[in-house]
Structure 1
Amino acid sequence: MTDYDVLRVFCSAGGGYGNELGVVRDGSVMPERSDRQAFAAKLGFSETVFVDDPERGIIDIYTPSTRLPFAGYPCVGAAWLLDVPELVTPAGVVGARQDGEFSWIEARAEWAPPRTLRQYGTAAEVDELPVPPPGEWIYAWAWEDGAAGRIRARAFPGRGDGIDEDEATGAAALLLTDQLGRALNITQGTGSQILTAPQPEGWVEIGGRVFLER
């Protein structure tokens, strides 16, 4: 069995919630994309990261069904684990930094896969949503406190690969921040926390707490 770590990314202040991420620290043990895809499907996490160069931060990201050129929460988790100033993804170079209890990355909205950002009138409406059938990748959100930038969100990948709802998703938060043009404090899923902040020249920072689960 290939060795891998399990991180929990975008945890709450108490260390709970967050989204599980598989990380294969030595990507050389599984160089073929087909093998990596099969392994990601076997693990069943929303995403699995293969580290191809830990010093340079070169990573390769997979869902259970496809390879991604960029994804938010895998980059936040990998940046924390590798403690490097940047990550190299097929989409581009992702800036990374640690700030106290938070791990941050800096990326661009055009790197994120397409998402349907669907606004609702209240947080209660978002809470009550059923899981939609496979199809669109939907990020359902509503303001909890507009003045404070607090948002309630849920994410429905619609991929039909066994992940009906993502507990915490950085790429969707990146797109929403780019669209709204302001810093956000997002509560997603059952209680995960995602922080974002727009930066000059089209960049967006995404931050959250990361814990090593096993």
Structure 2
Amino acid sequence: MKKTLLFLLFNVVILTLGAQEIAVLKYKGGGDWYSNPTALPNLIKFCNKHINTKIDEKPRTVEVGNSDIFQYPLVYMTGHGNVFFSDDDAENLYNYLVSGGFLHIDDNYGMEPFITKELKKVFPNATLVELPANHPIFSNAFEFKNGLPKIHEHDGKRPQAFGIFYEGRLILLFTYESDLGDGWEDPEVHNDPEHVRQKALKMGANIVKYAFEN
């Protein structure tokens, strides 16, 4: 086990050194991890144009328990329904995050009760804490003075950004009641006004920039 962990830690240092790639997280439990298929490619195009990234416009898919996750400095997770992490999944995800990886979980509606339960397997002693509006992730590229923007309406709740920290570093971001991914999708999918889509894309660019630089 120690040799495996050292190997994975070595890989994350080497493979993410200067890397600028994003992967979609595939998880078990029956939830639609594949939802919003045009979202991430559109966000990547926006980032490559506006914050000078050089990300492959065709994001890869990586499974929670696969060591390939260590190749990506940022992994994006979304969906509407159930999520399940096996013990091996939880261990792999933990090692990835504490070794320098970053996970953005974007609740596409209905995901919250499942993901919060499964995150306890990954971080038994940590809790999701709400990020204040003055956190750098809301201003590092584009300014969001009020914090996470509201993109898609579901239950009339305010948008909230929660995080898990490790040794002072934000390693996991959970965006709730915002639905950024809907705003990243092609315009005709949700018919969101352009100014709403721009807010979503700009906030997404902030997340990408933060994940790559911290």
TM-score normalised by length of structure 1: 0.28
Relative to its length, the structure with more strand (as a share) is 1
Relative to its length, the structure with more helix (as a share) is 2
TM-score normalised by length of structure 2: 0.28
